[in-house]
């Protein structure tokens, strides 16, 4: 799901989660989680303050 060009939607490029994942790899203080409860896609992005 996080791979480039993956999409479950017609006419979408599938770049969203792949882009977010590459950004996350640059920042230690950023966490990402997602789930699909009851058919809805929930996405959580948390950026902690730098110490």
Q: pLDDT tens for residues 3-51?
A: 555 556 666 555 577 778 788 888 889 998 888 889 888 889 899 998 7
pLDDT at residue 29, as a whole number: 92
Residue 46: its pLDDT value, please? 92
Could you give the C-alpha distances from 32 to 11, 13, 26, in angstroms and in order?
25, 21, 13
- pTM surpassing 0.75? no
């Amino acid at each position: 799901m996080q791979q480039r060009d993956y999409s479950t939607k017609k006419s979408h490029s599938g770049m969203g989660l792949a882009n977010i994942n590459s950004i996350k790899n640059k920042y230690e203080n950023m966490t990402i989680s997602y789930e699909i409860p009851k058919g809805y896609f929930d996405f959580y992005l948390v950026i902690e303050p730098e110490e």
